[in-house]
Amino acid sequence: MDAMLERASKGSWTRAGRKAKVCLQIAAVALLTVATYAAAVEMRGDHPDTYVVQRGDTLWDIAGRFLKKPWLWPEIWQANPQVKNPHLIYPGDVLSLAYLDRVAVQPGPRNAPAINAVPLAEVEPFLKNLRVVDAFEQMPYVVGLEGDRLRSSEGQVVYVRGLGGAQAGQRFAILRPAQRYTRLDRTACCDLFHQDDLDFRGRRTIDFANYWTNALTPDNGNELLGFELVQVTTGTLTRGEVGGIEASTVLLDDEGREVRVGDRLVPVDAQPYDLQFFPHPPRQQLDYGRATVLATSDMLANAGTHDVIALSVGSREGVDNGTVFSIWRTGSNAVDRVEYGAERTEDTIPERAKVRLPDEFAGHVMVFRTFDKVSYGLVMDSIKPTHVGYQLKHPDAPY
C-alpha cells in the first residue's frame, strides 16, 4: 500500500510538473508573441491614445495614419483577442492605440456599413468584370444574333455554339477577349512596352475602345502569361441544341455592353471573388524583375492611388489575395559624363560604361484577385505615378 501511495504521489508530482512546464511554455510563447508584435509593428510617434472611426475610413487608411507599415494592420487586430472580426468595425467605434492594449473597441452606432481593408466600391467593377485564362479558343462562343443583328443587348437573344451539354435555365457570363499578356526575353530585344489588343476572334489588332493597356515585359524567357477577358453582360440558356439546330439560345438578362459575334461564355460564379482582404507581405521572395506592372486601367501607361493595375505574377508564384508589394521605378542606366565627357552621346558609350542608378519608390499595391500567372491589385498609396514596367518588391524592401 505504501508503495502504491508513493507511486501515485510521484505520478501526481510528475503530472503537476508537466502541467507547470506546459504553462511556462505557453507563457514564453505569449511573451515572444508580444515581443514580436512590438518589434514588427512600429507606431508613429505622434499617434493618439484613441481614434474614432469615421465614415469613409478603411482599415488601411487607419493603419496608415498610426503605423509606419500600414500593411501590418492585421497583426494589431490579431494581437487583441477582444476584436473578434476586424472587418466588423463601424463608423463611431473607438479604437485604443495604447502600447500593450492596442485595440479595445468601444461600440458606436450600427447605422452604417462595416469598414473594410480596401474601398470595395472602387475595385468591384474589376472584381466582377475581368479574368485571365491560359486559353479561350475552346470556350463556347456567340455565333449569331437575333435578327442577324450586328449587336445585341438586354432582352434580346444570341445564339451560341459549344453549349451542347448545358441545361435550360443555366446562367452564363458573356466575356470578350481583350488583351494578351506576354513576358518577353530581355536578351532577344530591348525593353519593349506596347499595346497589344485582340479583335472579336482573339487575334491581335488595334482597337482604341479597349479598356486596358498591355505590355510585353522583359524577363528571362518568352512566356504567354494569359488572355484577359472582359465581362460584357450575362444571359440565361432558354433552349439547347435540339431538332437539328446546331446552336443554343441564350437570353441576355442584364444591363451591360452590347454582345457581338465571337464573345465567349462561362458559367456564372456564385461567389467569384473575396469580400474581405487581410494585407500581408509576399509569402516567398521573388527574383528581381520577376514581378512587374503589366497594365493599368483607364490610362495609357500610369496609375495613382486607388487605381487598378495588372501584375505579372499570380498563384503560381505564391501570390494570393491580400499580398502587398511595394512599387519601384527601375533605376536608369546613366551616362557618366564626368568620366567620358559631356560631348559623348548615349549611343556612343557601351552599356558596361554606364552607371546603374538606384530604383525609386513609388507606392504600395495590394492584390485583390489572383489567377495562375497574373493578378490584379489596387494601388493603396503612392508618392509618384505608377507606370507599366515598374518593379514589384517586398513591402519592406529598402531600395
Specify the CATH number for the domain of residue 112. Answer: 3.10.350
Task: Report yes or no on 254 lying in a domain.
Answer: yes
User: Are 109 and 153 within one domain?
Assistant: no
| Residue that finishes a domain, picked among 77, 96, 117 | 117
Specify the CATH number for the domain of residue 384. Answer: 2.40.10
User: Are 159 and 236 within one domain?
Assistant: yes
**Number of domains forming the structure of the chain:** 3
Question: Structural domain of residue 87, as residue ranges?
Answer: 40-117
For residue 13, the one-letter residue type is W
CA distances from 380 to 118, 322, 367 (A): 8, 11, 10
Secondary structure of residue 184 in the 3-state scheme: strand
Q: Which run of H or of E encompasses 52?
A: strand 50-52
Q: How far apart are CA 309 and CA 71, in angstroms?
A: 18
Secondary structure of residue 259 in the 3-state scheme: strand
DSSP annotation of 123 reads H
Task: Report yes or no on 323 lying in a domain.
Answer: yes
Provide the phi-psi class of 341: left if phi over 0, else alpha when psi is between -120 and 50, else beta: left
Secondary structure of residue 190 in the 3-state scheme: coil
User: Are 308 and 220 within one domain?
Assistant: no
| Residue that finishes a domain, picked among 84, 117, 150 | 117
User: Are 187 and 105 within one domain?
Assistant: no
Task: Report yes or no on 349 lying in a domain.
Answer: yes
Q: Which run of H or of E encompasses 88?
A: none
User: Are 155 and 94 within one domain?
Assistant: no
User: Are 142 and 262 within one domain?
Assistant: yes
The pLDDT tens digits of the residues spanning 130-140 come to 888 988 889 99
Task: Report yes or no on 27 lying in a domain.
Answer: no
For residue 9, the one-letter residue type is S
User: Are 139 and 256 within one domain?
Assistant: yes
Q: What are the residues facing 230 on neighbouring strands?
A: 130, 176
> Is there a contact between 228 and 234 (Cβ–Cβ < 8 Å)?
no
User: Are 93 and 200 within one domain?
Assistant: no
Task: Report yes or no on 32 lying in a domain.
Answer: no
User: Are 240 and 191 within one domain?
Assistant: yes
Spell out the per-residue pLDDT of the chain, length 399, in tens: 444 444 444 444 344 444 433 333 333 333 333 333 334 456 665 667 778 888 878 777 777 787 777 777 766 565 555 566 766 778 888 777 664 444 456 677 777 777 776 777 777 777 778 888 988 889 999 999 998 888 999 999 999 999 988 889 999 999 998 888 876 544 444 444 444 556 666 666 554 444 444 444 444 456 788 888 989 999 999 999 888 889 999 999 988 889 999 999 999 987 666 777 778 889 888 888 889 998 887 655 688 888 889 999 999 999 999 999 999 999 988 877 777 766 666 667 777 778 889 999 999 999 999 999 999 999 988 999 999 889 999 998 888
User: Are 94 and 156 within one domain?
Assistant: no
Q: Which three cell numbers stand for residue 321?
A: 489575395
In SS3 terms, 292-337 reads as EEEEEECCCCEECCCCEEEECCCHHHCCCCCEEEEEEECCCEEECH
Task: Report yes or no on 10 lying in a domain.
Answer: no
Task: Report yes or no on 76 lying in a domain.
Answer: yes
End-to-end C-alpha distance for the chain, whole angstroms: 74
User: Are 222 and 150 within one domain?
Assistant: yes
| Residue that finishes a domain, picked among 86, 117, 148 | 117
User: Are 238 and 148 within one domain?
Assistant: yes
pTM above 0.85, yes or no: no
Q: How far apart are CA 223 and CA 292, in angstroms?
A: 14
Task: Report yes or no on 257 lying in a domain.
Answer: yes
